[in-house]
Amino acid sequence: MCGIVGYIGSKDAAELLLNGLQRLEYRGYDSAGIAVLNGGLSVLKQKGSVSELEKALKNSGQSEQSIHEATAGIGHTRWATHGDPSDRNAHPHLSADGGIALIHNGIIENYSAIKKELISKGYHFSSDTDSEALVHLIDSIWSDKPEIGLEAAVRAALYHVEGAYGLCIISQQEPDKIVVARKGSPLVIGIGEGEYFIASDAAPIVEHTKKVIYLSDGEMAVVTRDGYVIKTIENITQEKHISELDFDLAKIEKGGFEHFMLKEIYEQPTVLQDVMRGRVRLDEGQVRLGGIEDYLDRLKLSSRVIICACGTSWHAGLIGEYLIEEFARIPVEVDYASEFRYRNPVITKDDVVIVISQSGETADTLAALRLAREKGALVMGICNVVGSTIARETLCGIYTHAGPEIGVASTKAFTAQVTVLYLLALTLSKGRTMSREEIKLYLKELNGVPEKVERILKQDDMILEIAEDYKDARNFLYLGRGYNFPVALEGALKLKEISYIHAEGYPAAEMKHGPIALIDEDMPVIFIATRDNSYAKVLSNIEEVRSRKGKVIAIANEGDEEIGRLADHVIYIPAASAPVTPLLSVIPLQLLAYHIATFRGCNVDRPRNLAKSVTVE
């Protein structure tokens, strides 16, 4: 993995590929490369950023004019899985004679066996990657049967492959086509006027066309300047729906903010309104979630809900557990998707499995989805990307409508997911546990959240000052109870992701069961201490930290003077009922993590070793 872009048409392919790779930089990567067809096959790749690749192109000694005359090519940003980040491991990878170029997202699980067989045939490997084995395999098959052509050679090679892949392959023998294939790693084809674009997501495509086709698992496509043909790996032609992208270029630009992450934090009031728009009928006390209407009775009659997700989406799922159990009184379990299928879970046809993923392409979450579906559960999806694999493979679902999220560390996706889960819990409660008037009250409070988030964002300068005080800390502890325990986990994750400071989230009451041993004058402790039924207990926990000389940063409700006497720093948020509080308490934690990371000189939008969408196990 991580980013794929391809182009065939009449324009400067190299320029389009480099621009496309820049659009994909947010996904996280360690090297980049392009291959273009310009009579022969020209390849440039290296460790580092796309901007460094552009400089290398100018200094490469290759004819820049010739490179920029090419009108077809492929490009890749790599996030290392096999082999360290280096020039030799960067994509594209070439066949032995340099006539075929391949880029690959995913993991070839049986590459070692394929590599061993190819070495026995005399092939030499110049990288440590699994991907190189595949380009040599295609070359071997085509060399044995020259008459079959590139498409058939790729198809035959994929019969031998175990694992996940998103592939683009070009050949100087057939310079007017790009062959693409997908299994477990997303690919999108953009349809222009006499030109076509290929990418791992829509970001590099949207500035050129809004008409796209999403490939499904087990599909291949041959793309030429005249059109495309999509078939299964078994060579069965497929008719595909053309989708319209629902966002424009402005949404993937920084819009005057220094970083995408900061922009996305500030977008949250608008995002929360977008999540509710058309779904909440405040005067009637009704929620309309069109994507689950046909299955609503089945959802309400479920004996159990299982939520599967990873990372930030898992934290949102924990809040969903609290919401669904409190509002609808349906038992809920929350599983790490990465563990779900490996523990032989007990799943029945009376269960509902909800999978949550910002991208809709998270490999572990997709695996959990498929296992639950095989066992007969009703599988529902919550995701942000229209046309994503989760959206296509679930029977029903809800889009979050958060818009493109470019920053690797998720912010607005989290609050959008929590809002969707809040609306889902209210929907499930109707006719079961709540009256319309009760639902109306909860909706009225939710409707007021965007304005409250705006008020919190106005404290950014004060949060910046707190961040400066703690930028050199080596450890943080985040504590919360009830609905705010998952927020503590999410706050700690944000700090780890972008500042590289070790941080842990815990239920506040668990502090005495181990973490208290860590507390001294060098340990900042962040308490989410809003006024709810555990408020007095949290105050006691704060006193315990103070007695051990720990530094206390509190997230508290406006007007709380008592907490001001106990904490070293207080960030105030508007008062709200417990189910709504996570949408407010997480905002200062996002800002605090962001500012600490910028003070430390970290790359906030592209933190080291991380990828935006984890499409491999």
Length of the chain: 617
Check pLDDT > 60 for residue 348: yes
pLDDT exceeds cutoff 90 at 548:
no
Question: How far is residue 51's CA from residue 432's CA, in Å, rounded to a whole number?
Answer: 57
Q: At what angle do helices 412-429 and 268-276 cross, to 10 degrees?
A: 30
Residue 156 has pLDDT above 60, yes or no: yes
CATH 3.60.20.10 domain span(s) along the chain: 2-245
Q: In the CATH scheme, what is the code of domain 452-604? A: 3.40.50.10490
Residue type, 460: D
249 confidence band (pLDDT: 50, 70, 90): low
Q: How does pLDDT run across 38-58, given as a tens digit for each residue?
A: 888 989 888 888 888 888 777
pLDDT band at residue 176 under the 50/70/90 scheme: very high
What integer is the mean pLDDT of 224-231? 94
Instruction: Kindly write down the DSSP assignment for every residue of 501-562, as one continuous string.
Output: -EEEEEEGGGGGGTGGGG-STT-EEEEE--SSTTHHHHHHHHHHHHTTT-EEEEEEETT-HH
How does the average pLDDT of the chain come out, rounded? 89
| Contact present, 74 and 104 (Cβ < 8 Å) | no
CATH number assigned to the domain covering 248-447: 3.40.50.10490
pLDDT at position 3 is: 85
- pLDDT-derived band at 26, boundaries 50, 70, 90: low
- Asked if residues 53 and 34 have their Cβ atoms less than 8 Å apart, the reply is yes
pLDDT of residue 28: 60
- Strands (DSSP E) contained in 26-136 are 31-38, 40-47, 72-78, 93-94, 100-108
Examine the pLDDT at 278 and tell me if it is beyond 60.
yes
The whole-number average pLDDT for the span 117-141 is: 92
Of 256, 246, 262, nearest to 206 by C-alpha is 246
Per-residue three-class SS string for 370-393: HHHHHCCCEEEEEECCCCCHHHHH
**Chain position carrying tokens 């999978």:** 355
Omega of the bond leading into 186 within 30 degrees of 0 (cis): no
Which one has a higher pLDDT value, 566 or 609?
A: 566
Residues spanned by CATH 3.40.50.10490 within the chain?
248-447, 452-604
CB 46 within 8 A of CB 40: no
Minimum mean pLDDT among 24-28, 328-332, 361-365, 505-509: which range? 24-28
- How do residues 60-113 score in pLDDT, each as one tens digit? 655 555 777 899 999 998 877 767 778 888 889 999 898 999 999 888 889 899
Tokens of 549: 């000389």
pLDDT score of 254? 74
Instruction: Indicate whether 152 pLDDT > 90.
Output: yes
Ranges assigned E (strand) in 184-312: 188-191, 196-199, 211-214, 219-224, 227-232, 243-244, 280-281, 286-287, 304-309
pLDDT band at 6 (very low <50, low <70, confident <90, very high): very high
Q: Residue 617 pLDDT > 60, yes or no? A: no
Cα-atom radius of gyration of the chain, to the nearest Å? 26
Average pLDDT value for residue range 447-463? 96
Q: How confident is the model at residue 545 (pLDDT cuts 50, 70, 90)?
A: confident
What DSSP state is assigned to residue 517?
A: G
Residue 43 tokens, joined: 């390849």
Contact by Cβ (8 Å): 91, 143? no
pTM: 0.79
β 72-78/31-38 pair status: antiparallel
Domain 2-245 is found in CATH 1.20.140.10: no
- Annotated catalytic residues are 2, 612
